[in-house]
Structure 1
Amino acid sequence: MSNQYFRFKQFTVHQDKCAMKVCTDACIQGAFTAGYLARQSPVPQQILDIGTGTGLLSLLLAQQIPAFITGVELDSDAAGQAAENFSASPWAERLQVTQSDIRYLPATSHYDHIISNPPFYEGSLKSNNNLRNQAMHATTLGYTELLEAIGSHLQPEGTFSVLLPHAAFPAFREQAEAIGFYPEELLEVRQSVRHAGPFRTVGIFKQAVLKPEIRELTIYDEGNAYTPAFVELLQPYYLYL
């Protein structure tokens, strides 16, 4: 059984009502994106988290970025849990969740930054857990629909961050570039020094033709301990780093 909660240094994520639990690669995305946003001038004031789930990404960003963050979540149980996690955090006054399908949510606000850990798999074998399929597979939100939603809700000068399997990322990038979004920074994530190549990619995109800065991060070293680069990235968050 998965842990019912995950405690960070400044907040706790309860996750018993959510199909997708806290995972290392999502923490990497949140920490990497927070670092990127903290370097921007001005720092984003309005952020949208598409498919917020437990609220993890919003909370990771809220710790570092003094922005107002809206999480959108399709599943009602997950949306309720995200709201509880937001309310219990030190940043409750600038975190909110909307239970809705992003495909049909009116674009009444336009955001400086959008972050999403979208459904990973298109056309892959599914499990018999419908909620997990909804979270992991593009059963309701494919890459095309995600990019359309981003285009509708993002400021013209805004940026967005996605986390995808490394193998799937080129197809997503091709679709993004076809509608004018180009990667500014890429983080290639490798599980350990024993693995030949990356298994996840974090991409930060904007509406400008760019040559992306490509960084690499390896989680575990030869002794199966966290690498110094991983420790540096997650130390502000992880309780025992």
Structure 2
Amino acid sequence: MSNSFFKFKQFTVHQDKTAMKVCTDACLFGAWVAKQIEIIDLKNILDIGTGTGLLSLMLAQTSGAIIDAVEINELAAEQAAINFSNCPWKNQLHIHHKSITRFAEERDHLYDLIIANPPFFDNQLKSQNRERNIAMHSELLSLEELSSCIYKLLADSGKAAILLPWNRVEEWKAIAKKTGLFCIKETAVKQTTNHSYFRSMVLMQKNDATASFNYIAIKEGNDYSKDFSQLLAPYYLAL
């Protein structure tokens, strides 16, 4: 059984109300985004599908930006609100309980940075837990809809970052390009140096540019890899 909370160096994520718990690849994604962006200068950030609020909390730790976190699930939105209210940066963090499509329709505000760890499995075996299905599967949000919302809400000079399964990255990049979003960096993720890629972290912008590619392994043998440890050191208690 998963722990009801996950404690970091500067904040705690309570997760008893949500179907999706704190996971290593999401933590890596948050730390990677903070490393890629000149985050201290950002004025505003949008977190699409915030869940527990993990990514928003990680970015609030490293920036002074105002962060809007959108979450369609009522219990997850309540959970994120609790986590925000108990952290040192509660005045920066704002939860919005609605779909990102509705949020995009209502919002005339543009963002310097948009982050998304979306429901990314499609046409795959689902669990009996509907809340978990919504959190994990493309049941209520397609990649086409996500791309359209990101483009509408992203400032011309802004960046967008998305975490996806390795096998859906090329599909995403093709969809995003049609919308007007271009990949400028991709970091593939392995569980260990001996495993195949299973996730990709993609950084995008509205102007086309030559994209760079690298990869990171979470572990080397039984220990966290050097690259992973350096990224997560500001957050993980054990590092």
TM category (shorter chain) comes to over 0.9
2:185–2:204 CA contact under 8 A, matched in 1 = yes
Matched, 1:199 2:227: no
Partner of 2:120: 120
2:151–2:180 CA contact under 8 A, matched in 1 = no
What is the CA distance between 1:174 and its match in structure 2?
0.7
Matched, 1:177 2:177: yes
Q: Counterparts of 1:159 and 1:218 in 2: how far apart (Å)?
A: 24
2:189–2:197 CA contact under 8 A, matched in 1 = yes
Q: Counterparts of 1:221 and 1:147 in 2: how far apart (Å)?
A: 34
1:9–1:236 CA contact under 8 A, matched in 2 = yes
Gaps of 5+ in 2: none
Cα offsets for 1:44-96 (capped at 9, x unmatched) = 21100000000000001111111000100001111011011011111011111
Partner of 1:156: 156
Structure 2 counterpart SS, 1:92: coil
What is the CA distance between 1:154 and its match in structure 2?
1.3
Partner of 1:43: 41
- What is the aligned length? 237
Percent identical pairs in the alignment equals 43
Partner of 2:12: 12
Q: CA RMSD in A?
A: 1.1
2:186–2:200 CA contact under 8 A, matched in 1 = yes
Letter in 1 for 2:207: A
Alignment of 1:1-241 (within 5 A): 1-38=1-38, 43-105=41-103, 106-195=106-195, 197-222=196-221, 224-241=222-239
Structure 2 counterpart SS, 1:210: coil
1:37–1:65 CA contact under 8 A, matched in 2 = no
1:107–1:152 CA contact under 8 A, matched in 2 = no
Gaps of 5+ in 1: none
What is the CA distance between 1:108 and its match in structure 2?
2.6
**Runs (4+) off by over 2 Å:** none
TM-score normalised by structure 2 residue count = 0.96
What is the CA distance between 1:239 and its match in structure 2?
0.5
Cα offsets for 1:166-199 (capped at 9, x unmatched) = 011110011111222111111111110221x211
Q: Counterparts of 1:37 and 1:99 in 2: how far apart (Å)?
A: 27
1:181–1:208 CA contact under 8 A, matched in 2 = yes
Q: Counterparts of 1:194 and 1:36 in 2: how far apart (Å)?
A: 26
Structure 1 counterpart SS, 2:37: helix
TM-score normalised by structure 1 residue count = 0.95
